[in-house]
Amino acid sequence: MNAPEIPTADRPDAPFYQPLGNEQALFEQAWRHGMPVLIKGPTGCGKTRFVQHMAHRLNLPLYTVACHDDLSAADLVGRHLIGAQGTWWQDGPLTRAVREGGICYLDEVVEARQDTAVVLHPLADDRRELFIERTGEALQAPPGFMLVVSYNPGYQNLLKGMKPSTRQRFVAMRFDYPPAAEEERIVANEAQVDAALAAQVVRLGQALRRLEQHDLEEVASTRLLIFTARMIRSGMTPRQACLACLAEPLSDDPQTVAALMDVVDVHFG
């Protein structure tokens, strides 16, 4: 396969992405080599934003699919629909990405039904082929096409892990919440707040993440810190913003919420 040319440098409208390591170079090289990429990381840590950013940088159409436990191969590939003129074929997002040589991004891929593996496997290895069973069409993916999948290893249970035969087809990258300096830049940019407020919100976020005695299912995400900063910017008191955007989203247990608010009061008291 010929390595595709990278069409343009950063386009001015690429969504803001704060790099945290070599992830951009790794993704770009994977794309050039026609390799699929797997991104694992907790919710709200920047996986989707990263893929959006890279699609812009590489000037590729992006088809994003939020996977759920009812998502089947037909949802990805396409199906026959019945209209006034009779039946017609409608491409699914995966087929469209293959035809256009773009990125198909399957978010929370471990949720999808097992029959999706049948269409993903031949696309994710050297064959780079999509076979559309219903129409008998076999598509060879053009050089630009890239399959990207993500999942949250925290949600994983034994039944839902990705099969080794699937995951061994991917270049894998681990994402996590950013270090404080980078997270401050992200919060300042995304919430349009000054550096001092961003730093304060991030310090609180990092303190909340260190609280291990509470059995929270998840820790405060970068997304929630951005929400909090936005609410403060628009005039809510820090305490109101932290309750609505951090403590309540993280727990249903009133005692845990109160304990989280104690930490808030230390930072914004």
Ligand X SMILES: Nc1ncnc2c1ncn2[C@@H]1O[C@H](COP(=O)(O)OP(=O)(O)O)[C@@H](O)[C@H]1O
What are the residues binding Mg ion (CB under 5 A)?
Answer: 48
**Of 116, 166, 222, 228, which one interacts with ligand X (CB under 6 A)?**
222
36: contact with ligand X by CB under 6 A: no
Q: Residue 65: CB partners within 8 Å, gap ≥ 6?
A: 71, 75, 76, 93, 94, 104, 105, 106, 107
Q: Residue 218: CB partners within 8 Å, gap ≥ 6?
A: 42, 43, 154, 250
59: contact with ligand X by CB under 6 A: no
Q: Which of 25, 20, 26 is nearest to 38 (CA)?
A: 26
Q: Of 155 and 268, which has the nearer Cβ to ligand X?
A: 155
Residue 2 CA neighbour count, 13 Å, CB half: 4
Which residue type sits at 217? E
48: contact with ligand X by CB under 6 A: yes
24: contact with ligand X by CB under 6 A: no
Selection from Mg ion, ligand X, none that 88 binds (CB < 5 to 8 A by kind) is none
User: Which of positions 167-196 make contact with ligand X (CB under 6 A)?
Assistant: 178, 186, 190
**Of 4, 34, 36, 44, which one interacts with ligand X (CB under 6 A)?**
44
- Contacts of 66-69 with C-beta under 8 Å, sequence gap 24+, read 66/107, 66/108, 67/106, 67/107, 67/108, 67/109, 67/110, 67/111, 67/112, 68/108, 68/111, 68/112, 69/111, 69/112, 69/113
Q: Of 45 and 98, which has the nearer Cβ to ligand X?
A: 45
Contacts with ligand X, 224-263, as mask; x by CB under 6 A: --x-------------------------------------
Selection from Mg ion, ligand X, none that 16 binds (CB < 5 to 8 A by kind) is ligand X
For residue 97, CA distances in Å to 100, 167, 188 come to 5, 21, 34
Instruction: State the minimum distance, in angstroms, from the CB of residue 191 to ligand X.
Output: 9
Instruction: State the minimum distance, in angstroms, from the CB of residue 269 to ligand X.
Output: 27
Query: How many of the chain's residues bind ligand X (CB under 6 A)?
Result: 17
**Of 24, 26, 43, 218, which one interacts with ligand X (CB under 6 A)?**
43
Phi, psi torsion values for 217, nearest 5 degrees: -65, -35
**Of 38, 40, 49, 109, which one interacts with ligand X (CB under 6 A)?**
49
Instruction: State the minimum distance, in angstroms, from the CB of residue 219 to ligand X.
Output: 13
Instruction: State the minimum distance, in angstroms, from the CB of residue 227 to ligand X.
Output: 9
The runs of H, that is alpha helices, within 179-237 are 180-191, 195-210, 222-233
C-alpha 136/C-alpha 154 separation (Å) is 39
End-to-end CA, the chain: 60
45: contact with ligand X by CB under 6 A: yes
Residues that bind ligand X (CB under 6 A): 16-18, 41, 43-49, 178, 186, 190, 222-223, 226
